[in-house]
Amino acid sequence: MPVRSLRLRLLASAAAAVFLALAIAGFGLHLLFERHIERREALSMEAKAHELLAALRLDTQGRPVVDPLPSDTRFNQPAGGLYWQVSTASGQAHSPSLWDQSITSMPGTPRDHWRIRRVPGPFAQGLLVIERMVEPDRSSRAALVQVATDDSALSDAQREFSLEMIGSLVLLWLVLTGAAYGQVVLGLKPLGRIRAELDRMRRNPGARLSADHPAEIDPLANAINSLADARAADVDRARRRAADLAHSLKTPLAALAAQSRRAREAGAHEAADGLDRAIAAAGAALEAELARSRSAVAREAQTASRANVLAAAEAVAAVIERTEAGERIVFEIDVPEDIELPFAASDLAEILGALMENAARFARRRVTVSGTAADNEVCVTIADDGPGIADTRAATALVRGGRLDEAGPGHGFGLAIVSDLVSATDGAMTLGAGPLGGLEVRLAWPAATAS
Amino acid sequence: MRLLVVEDDPDVGDDLVRALGEAGFVVDLAVTGDDAWYRGDTENYAAVILDLGLPRLDGLSVLRRWRSSGRNFPVLILTARSEWTEKVEGIDAGADDYLAKPFAMGELVARVRALLRRAAGHGSSVIRIGRLALDTSRMSAHVDTHTIRLSPLEYRFLEFLAHQRGSVIAAHDIAEHLYGTADVGDTNAIEALVTRLRRKVGPGIVETRRGFGYVLSEEG
């Protein structure tokens, strides 16, 4: 199964790459160290070989004679770890340390420099040997000179070095992998922010990604914003078209109502009744669709627009005061001038219009509209001095299609439609008994979204 | 009584003419904004039923032109749109009532009758008391040079006090005049009405005589 976490993939590949690099480096260091200590040992043995060469001569039969013996006492102890051997065609001389053993030879020994090689030696020791062909006198007789040392000390040093090096390299691998983890976390952090902002966009379609992302992320954020804008424009266009269609159907419905009246006058009462029922149903469906469309637009369009509560309440009151239902009603509007809500003024007019018109319909003399801005919420209350409603009826009124005043003009109480619009603008609506004895409708918006 | 119906849809227009004719009105029909504006500007109608979606010149523009040239007949606007911002715009342009399509013909006739009843008895005269001038034909008030739009209730309150010039009228009597009843709720409503009115016309117009009632100030 492929790894789906980008962080894990980056981290695993970084860890593997660092491991490979450190392994190669470790191998290289191991080789370098090996060559270094071999060369140092070879130099030390060359010094001893020079002492040997100075004491070397060939006797008349061509056998090698070394006198005096080299000074290093290890040459004199059997299996002492340091050996020399001189071989000619006629005979061989070697250090007492070799006892009855000898150092193997290999053809092709150079005359002009020391050759270094490792060989299995006597006494179960591995040997590091330097060897060279020399002519001790002018007789042109050649002698093979070999100086060897037990290489177990070298191997121990090399093993110790390797262990310490591996420990250091593992530590380095951990540090570098940790650094890679930090880099991955830091590098992917803007993606986390994008995810949080996209989540906000999902909850509030009017929101957009911020513009201060790193240069590599910016084009992505811009593309997402453009996509969201295009989609919002499409949705808006579709909704407007639906709303326009709904509005454009109203005049033909009025014309159908005219036909219905004519049919009734001509005695076709049943046909007229049927037409009237169809007109009423179509009209109600259109209103419901328009209300739904308005709520959806309000939900998406929480942009920079602001609605002044006092201005909206006064404008609505001015309309209702002129209608028959409102002409005997006094509107007491007690709202501070600076209370604003963060959505379109037309949506607030729709909310207050439906509620204040309803209050005026039920009120005896007075309708009060009050507004307060507290620390954590903005509250608008509409109350009347009418008969009020029981709690059970209040619950009914909030259900879509539920009406308090089935016989009243217009489209019923419409509280469910208002409730939709209030919740679409992040507000809450509660019904209860008001101080004037009638219904009180309390609207509250959180202060974070209001001012 | 002569009414003007302005409606471009032939079915709806004919139906309005017939229904209002049956209700006892003499009805003229205009089908374009231009025609409507011309007729309203040149003839005397008791009320106008005005569709807002008209060809060439829209209903709101027609209404604004009539009001700016001093035509004061009551206007009921008809529109396919039922948003409150449209209602506010219509009332601001000078409409007196508003009905959304599709409507019940009975309701329209009742609304027209209510409009005519409200407009009845207002001659073309201006009553002046102190800084206040009441235009009885437009049901509006002027304070100094400012024109103030009043609700029908506010207008009737001021008109009642204006006709009792110089007398202090008790809230009880005002409620009796405005509502036909005068219980505690009614007199409280009068207090609320005065508060609201003072906010519109400013201080020093409606004076309170504590314990007695209200009087319009005669100071210029």
Point out the residue among B84, B111, B179 whose CB comes nearest to the CB of A353: B84
**Mean per-residue pLDDT for A397-408?**
46
- pLDDT for A403 equals 45
Residue A183: inside a domain: no
pLDDT at A155 over 80: yes
- pLDDT for A397 equals 57
**Mean per-residue pLDDT for A250-279?**
85
Q: Based on the domain organization, do A323 and A297 belong to the same domain?
A: no
Q: Based on the domain organization, do A312 and A440 belong to the same domain?
A: yes
Determine whether the interchain pair B101/A251 forms a contact, defined as Cβ–Cβ distance below 8 Å.
yes
pLDDT at A410 over 50: no
Q: Are A128 and A82 in contact (CB under 8 A)?
A: no
Q: What is the percent of chain B with per-residue pLDDT over 90, rounded to a whole number?
A: 23
- Using a CB-CB distance cutoff of 8 angstroms, which residues of chain A are in contact with residue B88? 315-316, 318-319, 349
- Per-residue pLDDT tens for B112-144? 988 888 776 555 577 888 888 888 766 778 888
**Mean per-residue pLDDT for A93-121?**
90
Q: What is the percent of chain A with per-residue pLDDT over 70, rounded to a whole number?
A: 91
pLDDT at A50 over 50: yes
**Mean per-residue pLDDT for A369-392?**
85
pLDDT at A236 over 80: no
- Among A324, A367, A436, the residue to mutate for chain B (most B Cβ within 10 A): A324
How far is A76 from A96, CA to CA, in rounded Å? 5
Average pLDDT, chain A: 85
Between strands B132-135 and B126-129, the pairing is: antiparallel
- Using a CB-CB distance cutoff of 8 angstroms, which residues of chain A are in contact with residue B153? 321, 327-330
Determine whether the interchain pair B178/A328 forms a contact, defined as Cβ–Cβ distance below 8 Å.
yes
Rounded to 5 degrees, what angle do the CA atoms A309, A315, A318 make?
A: 140
pLDDT at A405 over 50: no
Residue A177: inside a domain: no
Q: Based on the domain organization, do A338 and A291 belong to the same domain?
A: no
How far is B54 from B68, CA to CA, in rounded Å? 20
Work out the minimum CA distance from B155 to partner chain A, whole angstroms: 10
Q: Which residue from B152, B143, B125 is spatially nearest to B206, judged by alpha carbons?
A: B143
- pLDDT for B122 equals 55
Domain that holds residue A379: 307-446
Specify the CATH number for the domain of residue A418.
3.30.565.10
Determine whether the interchain pair B153/A329 forms a contact, defined as Cβ–Cβ distance below 8 Å.
yes
Phi, psi of A277 (to 5 degrees): -65, -45
Q: Based on the domain organization, do A18 and A91 belong to the same domain?
A: yes
ipTM higher than threshold 0.90: no
**Mean per-residue pLDDT for A222-251?**
82
Q: Based on the domain organization, do A318 and A278 belong to the same domain?
A: no
**Mean per-residue pLDDT for A262-282?**
87
- Using a CB-CB distance cutoff of 8 angstroms, which residues of chain B are in contact with residue A253? 101-102
B-chain residue closest to A262, CA distance: B15
- Per-residue pLDDT tens for B163-177? 888 889 998 889 888
- Among A262, A309, A322, A369, the residue to mutate for chain B (most B Cβ within 10 A): A322
Q: Are A80 and A69 in contact (CB under 8 A)?
A: no
- pLDDT for A402 equals 47
Residue A222: inside a domain: yes
Q: Map tokens 């006739």 to a residue.
A: B109
How far is B75 from B59, CA to CA, in rounded Å? 11
How far is B81 from B117, CA to CA, in rounded Å? 27
Last residue of a domain, one of A135, A157, A179: A157
- pLDDT for B201 equals 86
**Mean per-residue pLDDT for B36-61?**
90
Residue A276: inside a domain: yes
A-chain residue closest to B119, CA distance: A322
Determine whether the interchain pair A364/B18 forms a contact, defined as Cβ–Cβ distance below 8 Å.
no
Q: How confident is the model at residue A145 (pLDDT cuts 50, 70, 90)?
A: very high
- Using a CB-CB distance cutoff of 8 angstroms, which residues of chain B are in contact with residue A365? 179, 185-186, 188-189
Q: Based on the domain organization, do A232 and A369 belong to the same domain?
A: no
- pLDDT for B219 equals 78
**Mean per-residue pLDDT for B91-119?**
86
pTM for the predicted model, two decimal places: 0.61
Q: Which residue from A342, A372, A376, A345 is spatially nearest to A450, judged by alpha carbons?
A: A342
How far lies A328's CA from each of A322, A353, B193, in Å?
9, 17, 10
Q: Based on the domain organization, do A290 and A352 belong to the same domain?
A: no
- pLDDT for A414 equals 65
Q: How many CB atoms lie within 10 A of CB A196?
A: 10
- pLDDT for A297 equals 72
Work out the minimum CA distance from B121 to partner chain A, whole angstroms: 17
B-chain residue closest to A282, CA distance: B102
Q: How many CB atoms lie within 10 A of CB A251?
A: 21
Q: Are B15 and B105 in contact (CB under 8 A)?
A: yes
Work out the minimum CA distance from A392 to partner chain B, whole angstroms: 27
Strand-by-strand arrangement of the A143-150 sheet: A92-94, A82-87, A143-150, A126-134, A115-120
- Using a CB-CB distance cutoff of 8 angstroms, which residues of chain A are in contact with residue B53? 251
- Per-residue pLDDT tens for A174-205? 999 999 999 999 988 888 888 898 888 887 77
- Among A249, A319, A331, the residue to mutate for chain B (most B Cβ within 10 A): A319
- Using a CB-CB distance cutoff of 8 angstroms, which residues of chain A are in contact with residue B11? 254-256, 258-259
Average pLDDT, chain B: 86
Q: How confident is the model at residue A265 (pLDDT cuts 50, 70, 90)?
A: confident
Determine whether the interchain pair A332/B195 forms a contact, defined as Cβ–Cβ distance below 8 Å.
yes
Q: Based on the domain organization, do A271 and A349 belong to the same domain?
A: no
Q: Which residue from B189, B55, B93, B216 is spatially nearest to A436, judged by alpha carbons?
A: B189
Going from the N-terminus, what domains does chain B have, and what CATH number goes with each? 2-119 (3.40.50.2300), 126-216 (1.10.10.10)
Determine whether the interchain pair B12/A254 forms a contact, defined as Cβ–Cβ distance below 8 Å.
yes
How far is A297 from A304, CA to CA, in rounded Å? 14
Last residue of a domain, one of A301, A318, A351: A301
**Mean per-residue pLDDT for A220-249?**
83
Q: Based on the domain organization, do A151 and A39 belong to the same domain?
A: yes
Residue A259: inside a domain: yes
Q: Are A225 and A209 in contact (CB under 8 A)?
A: yes
- Distance from the Cα of residue A44 to its chain's centroid: 62
- Among B78, B79, B151, B198, the residue to mutate for chain A (most A Cβ within 10 A): B151
Q: Based on the domain organization, do A108 and A10 belong to the same domain?
A: yes
- Using a CB-CB distance cutoff of 8 angstroms, which residues of chain B are in contact with residue A248? 80
Highest mean pLDDT among A13-27, A71-85, A224-238, A360-374: A13-27
- pLDDT for A437 equals 86
Q: Based on the domain organization, do A219 and A355 belong to the same domain?
A: no
Last residue of a domain, one of A301, A332, A367: A301
Q: Which residue from A360, A301, A15 is spatially nearest to B189, judged by alpha carbons?
A: A360
Residue A181: inside a domain: no
Determine whether the interchain pair A331/B196 forms a contact, defined as Cβ–Cβ distance below 8 Å.
yes
Determine whether the interchain pair A258/B107 forms a contact, defined as Cβ–Cβ distance below 8 Å.
no
Residue A19: inside a domain: yes
pLDDT at A412 over 50: no
Domains of chain A: total:
3
Q: Name the least confident of A295-304, A368-377, B134-143.
A: A295-304
**Mean per-residue pLDDT for B42-60?**
89
Record the tokens describing residue A210, joined without a space: 């911020």
- Per-residue pLDDT tens for A20-33? 999 999 999 999 99
Q: Based on the domain organization, do A126 and A241 belong to the same domain?
A: no
Q: Are B164 and B209 in contact (CB under 8 A)?
A: no
Residue A187: inside a domain: no
Q: Are A251 and B53 in contact (CB under 8 A)?
A: yes
Coil, helix or strand for A307? strand
